[in-house]
Structure 1
Amino acid sequence: MARPPLLSLQDISLTFGGTPLLEEASLQVGPGERIALVGRNGSGKSTLLKIAAGIIAFDSGRRFMQPDATVRYLAQEPDLSAYPSIEAYVQTGLGPGDDPHAGRIILEGLGLDPDAPTTNLSGGETRRAALAHTLAPDPDVVLLDEPTNHLDIAAIRWLEELLKARRKALVLISHDRRFLETLSTAVVWLDRGRTQRMDRGFAEFEDWRDALIASEEEERRRLDKKIEQEQEWLRYGVTARRKRNMGRLRNLQALRQEKRDQRKQTGLADMQIASAERSGKRLIVADKLQKSFGDRAISKDLSLTIMRGDRLGLVGPNGAGKTTLINLLLGRLAPDAGTVKFGVDLKPILLDQRREGLDPNMPLRQAISPSGGDQITIGSVTKHVAGYLKDFLFTPEQFNTPVGALSGGERARVLLGRAFAMESNILVLDEPTNDLDLETLDLLAEVIGDYDGTLLLVSHDRDFIDRTVTTTLVAEGDGTWGEYPGGYSDMLAQRGEGPSELLVEAREKAVKKDAPASAPKPAQKRNKLSFREKHDLETLPARIETLEGEIAKLSDQLADPSLYAKDKKRFDTLTKDLTAKQAERDAAEERWLELEMKREELEAG
């Protein structure tokens, strides 16, 4: 027999400014359940969670909580100014029977010094303190809204392990796909004000959601057909049988009203990136790069070459200097020693995690346009600002809204829209995933995959790193950086270390500057190809065949003995293209041969 829920929301409805936000939404939280609450930005997830916490009122419906159950909600922006230390703030959340040491243990696990004063804390530190304040009492139900924001990967992994070990009920809102997959046992999907539940983990959510959407589309098509049939009857049958068929006419009117009332699926943002002229083959060459702030080393003798088309991800704990290293590589900050050389025609675009490029008083329609005009050109396509804003899911009513009045996710979309409209051949994304919903993250990953320039990415989102980068640069502590082919998962496989051990050690070196550097553990031999290697092995033959065809066509055109005399410019262009295609084919063949040999060795071993 199923145990009664600890917390229950039934048929919750809430309207803001005349627009329904929640319409008969429900949420049942049983003992030990870990529920992922998912939905698009602006769908009302945070509002529903606050209703569950008893923080805000609702128009209609019912909230029930077991009398002896304890529920804690993660505060978004707590005020710690009244407390002498972080631990003193966390202790205020403990009850008489709670473990007095729990707060200190959690703070240290999240990378905070419990004895640190509350003055001058960063936003991330304040957020982690609030998380410790919420979790220290070990409540029966924990309500967490984006708990991984401002956490580094080590802290995220530590938090995952803590929440799994506790076996207490959890309702979780997060954009971190890997975090949701690891923790959730059920999913509640909030869509167009209503909730639907799946009693399986988030890993199965998208297939389930897509099946529901397909079923809804089929129902919409049936409704359209029925309306068409009723309209046909209305045109030709109502006059002769007016009295007898007034009920059918009313039924048609009801069908039309049902059609109007249907709230269609919110669309996906239509993202494109404007590419500049191709840069040189070598974009950035760093040689023995050194940078320190006092006794805090950011880089010690780092040598790194970034080639055209590279996808480089920077991974490391907060405080390791990832953003500083980006600024060194872009020439925005001078090194203490060593050199950084740049290729020709570099056009970088930087998306700053702090949203500093946005004037909070500027209207949205001006903020998204780099030139400030009414037209935006992306590559060879020119769009009106209004149409471009719609591509990024902004409504006409928002066009003149000041940027400061937008949500965090909306401001992130503004920055993406403005950055993508600028010509670039190096795209620099510093924590781009903050505040974006899962669907927009999926689309952003696809757009980055289609971008023909070079990517520098700083992120703590493990899934996003795996899907977008081909090389991972890891902060290993004390100013040292390790370079590994592939994404985050590939890096862990090559290191042969668990993620918690690797990244917690690096964080401790970043925070405790006098800690001695330890030698990296020897990498364990892998017994299978990485995902990236398997993908390359499968797709390279087709790519090589395509290149061979392109080379043959170029060779045929250059075989014309009169071409040089007739059109020297075209001859030069074709010659340059042929050389580039041959070099690309040779590199692809070499890569495929290397992977094929590796596959044979692994299978034989």
Structure 2
Amino acid sequence: MAPPPLLRLDGVRLTFGGTPLLTDVELNVLPGDRIALVGRNGSGKSTALKIAAGMVEADGGEVFRKPGATVRYLPQEPDFGDFRTVGAYVAAGLGPADDPYRVTFCLEALGLSEGADPAHLSGGEARRAALARTLAPEPDIILLDEPTNHLDLPTIEWLEEELRSLKSAIVVISHDRRFLENVTRATVWLDRGTTRRLDQGFGGFEAWRDKLLEEEERDLQKLDRKIVREEHWLRYGVTARRTRNQRRLEALHTLRQDRRDARRSVGQVQMAAGETRESGKLVIEAKHIAKAYDGRTLVDDFSTRILRGDRIGFVGPNGAGKSTLLKMLIGQIEPDSGSIRTGTNLDLAFLDQKRAALRDDTSVSDALTEGHGDQLIVNGEPRHVVSYLKDFLFSPEQIRTPVGNLSGGERARLLLAKTLASPANLLVLDEPTNDLDMETLDLLQELIAGYPGTVLLVSHDRDFLDRTVTSTITPAENGRWIEYAGGYSDMLAQRRGEARQALKPTAAKSEGAATGAGRSDATRSSGSGSAKLSFKQKFALENLPKEIARLEKEIAKAEGEMADPTLFSKKPDRFQALVKTIEASRAALAKAEDEWLELEMLRAEMEG
């Protein structure tokens, strides 16, 4: 029997300004749940989360919270009130039974000082402080609204591990696919005011969503055909008598109303980059460039050649110097030493992560045209600002809206519209994924993949990098930067290979030193100077293939049982148990394969 829920939304409704935002929202949160709440920007995800947290009152439906259950909500824009230090702000979120040490632990992990003044924090630092306040108490329910925004990759990976270690139930909104895949076990899709639930993590969501949309489209086509048949009967099927069949006529009116009420999925962003002349084959060449600030070396002896058509990703911790290196390469900052040569016919478009190109007091239209009327030139042709903004999901009523009144996602789309309208063959994107929904990210990925020019991209979104870049530049130690072929996952694989190669000579030296005379007992007995695997390593090498085969068989058996389409409806507990079994077996399989590969490489090197 399933435990009682900690939190439940049942048939929740909410209307803003006469327009229904939420019409039938259901959310059931059990102890230990890990739920992804997904949907388009503007679909009401954040509002639904605020209703769950008790911060917004619903117009109708039921909101239940288990008596005594503690709930913590991470807002997109934290309010520090009158707190004088970050430590005091975070500690104020603790309950009487919570561990005060958690304040120090979370702040140190997120790179913040307890004594820092909240008034002097940057936007990203403010988000990390709010995240520390949310996680420090270890509440029963954690509601996270875009927790990875403005976090660097090491911090995102720490957050994943922290969330996996907590006993709290978690509901999270995020555009970061890899993050959602790593932390969730169920997905709730909020679409056109209603919710649908998939009892799988985000990894299975997109295929499930696409299947539902295809079925919905087929149903609408059937409804259209039925309306046509009924209209034909109404016009031609009763010519022999003047009295209409009123019941059938009423049924036709009902069908027409159903068709009007069948709201299709909201429109897609139409995205295309402004075209210009072709650049030269060489775009940027840097030789031995270096840059230091306040005695700290950010870039040291870095060289690269960027050619037309390259898509280069820059990754690394905040403060490592990604933006500094990028701005040196495009000529916005002079290097302290070394040289940079740029190619011919370069036209640059730059998207700044700080959104500095947008002023809060200007209207959406003026931000796009810089106050020069209501027309702009896109790909050499004039476009009316309303028509162009529709491509980015802005309504005609929004063109006079001040930029300061836009949501984070709307500001991100407006800046993309402004950047992509500029004719360019060198596209520089600094954190373009912040606040974008997944559908917009998909289109941006397609645009970058098919872009005829050159792209320089700074991002902490691992999935986005894997789908877009041809090589990845990342920091090493003491200001060194290394370029790897492929995306983020390719970079990690190459670094692991480098680490193994670096560890092997060290391990051999350590083994030799431990024997005193430079040889182990096993080496002496064989008369050979080469090292040998230990008994434990030999045993593992012989038995890991059997373990790998067993895990593969276990996964295949569980997946075969889950293939039964009636399993979830008939035996939901068995379905959930199989999901957990497959997740655990896949993790064990990956670990066993890595261990076997490392031992096999070590054995081959010793024997060689």
The TM-score normalised by the length of structure 1 is 0.79
C-alpha distance after superposition, 1:175-231 (max 9, x if no partner): 000000111111000000000000011111011001110111111011111111221
Q: Return the offset for 1:239.
A: 7.0
Q: Is the CA contact (8 Å cut-off) linking 2:445 and 2:468 kept in structure 1?
A: yes
Instruction: Answer yes or no: is the 8 Å Cα contact 1:144–1:171 preserved in 2.
Output: yes
How far does the alpha carbon of each residue in 1:352-380 deviate from its partner, in whole angstroms, 9 at most, with x for none?
11111123333323333479454444435
Report the equivalent of 2:216: 216
- Does the 8 A contact of 1:70 with 1:140 survive in 2? yes
- Answering whether residue 342 of structure 2 is matched by residue 359 of structure 1, we say no
The CA distance in 1 between the partners of 2:164 and 2:497, in whole Å, is 21
Q: Is the CA contact (8 Å cut-off) linking 1:275 and 1:453 kept in structure 2?
A: no
How far apart are the structure 2 equivalents of 1:497 and 1:70?
A: 45
Residue 259 of structure 2 corresponds to 259
Unaligned runs of 5+ in 2: 500-603
The CA distance in 2 between the partners of 1:361 and 1:122, in whole Å, is: 21
1:351: how far off? 0.4
1:168 and 1:362 map into 2 onto residues whose CA distance is 43
Aligned 1:99-248 pairs, distance under 5 A: 99-237=99-237, 245-248=245-248
Residue 278 (structure 2) aligns with: 278
Seq. identity, % = 56
Offset of residue 270 of structure 1: 1.0
- The answer to whether residue 40 in structure 2 is matched with residue 37 in structure 1 is no
**Aligned counterparts, 1:495-510, within 5 A:** 495-496=495-496
| 1:413 match | 413
Alpha-carbon deviation of 1:100? 1.4
Partners of 1:399 and 1:277 lie apart in 2 by 31
Q: Distance in 1 between matches of 2:236 and 2:453?
A: 61
1:464 aligns with 2:464: yes
In the TM superposition, residue 383 of structure 1 has moved relative to its aligned partner by 3.7
Alpha-carbon distance in 2 for matches of 1:376, 1:240: 60
Displacement of 1:114: 3.0
Q: Is the 8 A contact 2:469 2:486 kept in 1?
A: yes
2: CA distance between counterparts of 1:386 and 1:96? Answer: 54
Deviations 1:14-59 (A, max 9, x none): 0000100000111111111111000000000000000000001011
Q: State the Cα distance separating 1:244 from its structure 2 match.
A: 7.2
**Equivalent pair of 2:298/2:478 in contact (CA under 8 Å):** yes
Residue of structure 2 equivalent to 1:325: 325
Q: CA deviation at 1:407?
A: 1.4
Asked whether the 8 Å contact 1:275–1:451 carries over to 2, the reply is: no
- What is the identity, as a one-letter code, of the residue corresponding to 2:140? D
* Contact 2:273–2:420 (CA under 8 A) maintained in structure 1: yes
Task: Name the residue aligned to 1:313.
Answer: 313
CA distance in 2, matches of 1:435, 1:310: 26
Q: Please list, as runs of the form range in 1=range in 2, the aligned pairs for 1:426-575 lying within 5 A after superposition.
A: 426-496=426-496
AA partner of residue 312 (structure 1): I
SS at match of 2:441: helix
Cα distance, 1:357–1:470 mapped onto 2, change above 3 Å: same
The residue aligned with 1:505 is none
Which residue in 1 is equivalent to 2:389? 389
In the alignment, the residues of structure 1 paired with residue 79 and residue 215 of structure 2 have an alpha-carbon distance, to the nearest angstrom, of 47
Partner of 2:572: none
**Cα offset, 1:307, TM superposition:** 1.5
Residue pairs, 1:332-371, within 5 angstroms = 332-369=332-369
Residues of 2 paired with 1:110 and 1:320: CA distance? 15
How far off is 1:274 after superposition? 1.8
Structure 1: state its 5+ residue gaps: 500-603
Q: Return the letter of the residue paired with 1:441.
A: L
Say whether the 8 Å CA contact 1:288–1:300 is kept in structure 2. Answer: yes
**In structure 1, how many angstroms separate the alpha carbons of the residues matched to 2:241 and 2:71?**
62
- 1:381 CA drift (Å): 5.3
Shift in Å, 1:96: 1.7
Partner of 1:211: helix, strand, or coil? Answer: helix
CA distance in 2, matches of 1:270, 1:307: 28
The one-letter code matched in structure 2 to 1:130 is A
Cα contact 1:320–1:477 (8 A) shared by 2: no
Alignment-derived partner of residue 515 in structure 1: none
- The amino acid that maps onto 1:252 is L
Deviation of the 1:117 alpha carbon: 3.6
Q: Which amino acid aligns with 1:345?
A: N
Q: CA deviation at 1:425?
A: 1.1
- Alignment-derived partner of residue 53 in structure 1: 53
Identify the range of structure 1 (119-128 vs 232-241) with the bigger mean alpha-carbon deviation: 232-241
User: SS in structure 2 opposite 1:271?
Assistant: coil
Does residue 78 (structure 1) correspond to residue 73 (structure 2)? The answer is no
Show the counterpart of 1:294.
Answer: 294
Amino acid at match of 2:301: D
Q: State the Cα distance separating 1:410 from its structure 2 match.
A: 1.2
User: How far 1:460 sits from its partner (Å)?
Assistant: 0.5
For each residue in 1:92-143, what CA deviation from the matched residue of structure 2 results, as whole angstroms up to 9, or x when unmatched? Answer: 1111211111121111112223343434111111110110101111011100
Mapped to 2, the partners of 1:81 and 1:152 lie a distance apart of 26
Q: Is the CA contact 1:370–1:421 (under 8 Å) kept in the aligned structure 2?
A: no
Letter in 1 for 2:233: W
* Residues 492, 498 of structure 1: 8 Å contact kept: no
Deviation at 1:319, TM superposition (A): 1.1
Question: Once superposed, what is the RMSD of the aligned Cα atoms?
Answer: 2.2
Whole-Å separation in 2 of the counterparts to 1:190 and 1:243: 47
State the Cα distance separating 1:240 from its structure 2 match. 6.3
Contact persistence 1:292–1:299 (CA under 8 A): yes
Change (3 A) 1:63 1:371: closer
Corresponding residue for residue 63 of structure 1 = 63
Report the Cα distance in structure 1 between the residues aligned to 2:20 and 2:168, rounded to whole angstroms: 33
Closer, same or farther: CA 261–316 of 1 in aligned 2, 3 Å:
same
Verify the 8 A CA contact 2:175 2:436 in the aligned structure 1: yes
Q: 1:81 to 1:407 in 2, by over 3 A?
A: closer
CA distance in 1, matches of 2:305, 2:498: 28
Label 1:26 to 1:4 Cα distance change in 2 as closer, same or farther (>3 A). Answer: same
Work out whether residues 12 and 58 of structure 1, in 8 Å CA contact, stay in contact via their aligned partners in 2: yes
Question: How much does 1:391 deviate?
Answer: 1.3
Once residues 83 and 375 of structure 1 are traced to their aligned partners in structure 2, the CA distance between those partners, rounded to angstroms, is 47
How much has 1:396 moved relative to structure 2? 1.9
Tell me the matched-pair count.
Answer: 502
Relative to 1, partners in 2 of residues 1:362 and 1:371: Cα closer, same or farther, differing over 3 Å?
A: closer
Q: Kindly tell me: are residues 380 and 75 of structure 1, through their superposed partners in 2, closer, same or farther at Cα, counting changes over 3 Å?
A: closer
Give the match for residue 8 of structure 1. 8
| CA–CA distance in structure 2, aligned partners of residues 73 and 497 of structure 1 | 41
**Residue 389 of structure 1, CA deviation:** 1.4
Task: Give 1:331 deviation, angstroms.
Answer: 1.1
| 2: CA distance, partners of 1:194 / 1:333 | 50
Separation in structure 2 between the aligned mates of residue 447 and residue 263 of structure 1, nearest angstrom: 28
Cα pair 2:365 2:371 within 8 Å, conserved: no
Aligned partner of residue 368 in structure 1, secondary structure: helix
